[in-house]
Every structure is written in structure tokens, then in C-alpha cells.
Amino acid sequence: MAGAYDRRRGTAIIENRRGILVVTHGDGGVYLLPGGGAREDELQIIAAIRELKEETGLYPIEVRYLFTHLKAKVFGMKVKGTPRPCNEIKKIGWYQPGSHINVSRNTRAIIDRYLRMKE
């Protein structure tokens, strides 16, 4: 089975004073950045926006392309609304360097690259 980042995917990075928004599908599961697979003929930016709304209820008001990780395009987003777990998402967390949130290897790689870009 292919991993989440081995297929065309749109991934969102939402950061505020609490940290970087991450989501999980299970109670004790691994956290990922919001986003998901792009449908056939769907732009990855549209997939990222659609999945963010479906998973968290957040509405993007500003979106910018950051970089590509494997087959995923990563977008920084400014949003409005209060995030809440929706549909298949069970929990929302806020990742900060040194936090104990269990993020996937690819999620950590994306976050690390994003944080280096900000320096």
C-alpha cells in the first residue's frame, strides 16, 4: 500500500501562536498535516483547500505554494474559523518543535523544511 505522500496530494500548513495544526484519524494515532489526495484532474491546491474544510471546518483566506514533498504540493494557509475534528478526523493538535505529538516521518520532514524556510 502506498503512503500518503506517494500519490498526488495537497497538504496544508496552518501556523499560529499555538503551533502548526496537525490532525489524526485515530484516538492514539499518528498525526498528519491536513490535506489529502487530489481527485483525477483536480489541482493539488484545490485538494488541499477541500480537504482542510472537510477535516477541520477551517476556511482558507490566503493560500500560497511553499514546496513539493515527494508527490505532494505543500501550501501555507491563513484561515478563518476555529478548527474542529470533522468527518474522519478524530483529534486536532498543535505541533511545536520539542512537543510530544507523534507525527509521521513525512509530516516531520515537511514541518522541518517549512521551519528552515522561515529562518
Q: What is the CATH number of the domain that holds 17?
A: 3.90.79.10
Residue 104 near residue 112 (C-beta atoms within 8 A):
no
Query: What pLDDT is recorded for position 6?
Result: 63
Residue range 49-77: mean pLDDT, rounded: 96
Query: What pLDDT is recorded for position 1?
Result: 36
Q: Is 81 helix (H, G, I), strand (E, B) or coil?
A: coil
The residue among 27 and 61 whose pLDDT is bigger is: 61
Q: Are strands 72-80 and 9-13 parallel, antiparallel or unpaired?
A: parallel
Number of domains in the chain: 1
d(CA 64, CA 46): 12
Helix, strand and coil in the chain, % to nearest 5: 25, 35, 40
Domain hosting residue 39, numbered range: 4-118
The DSSP string of 80-101 is ES-----TT--EEEEE-TT---
pTM, 2 dp: 0.91
Query: What pLDDT is recorded for position 5?
Result: 59
Query: What pLDDT is recorded for position 18?
Result: 94
Tens-place pLDDT, residues 14-54: 999 999 999 998 766 899 999 999 999 999 999 999 999 99
Q: Is 95 helix (H, G, I), strand (E, B) or coil?
A: strand
**Residue 87 in this model has a pLDDT that exceeds 50:** yes
Residue range 74-103: mean pLDDT, rounded: 94
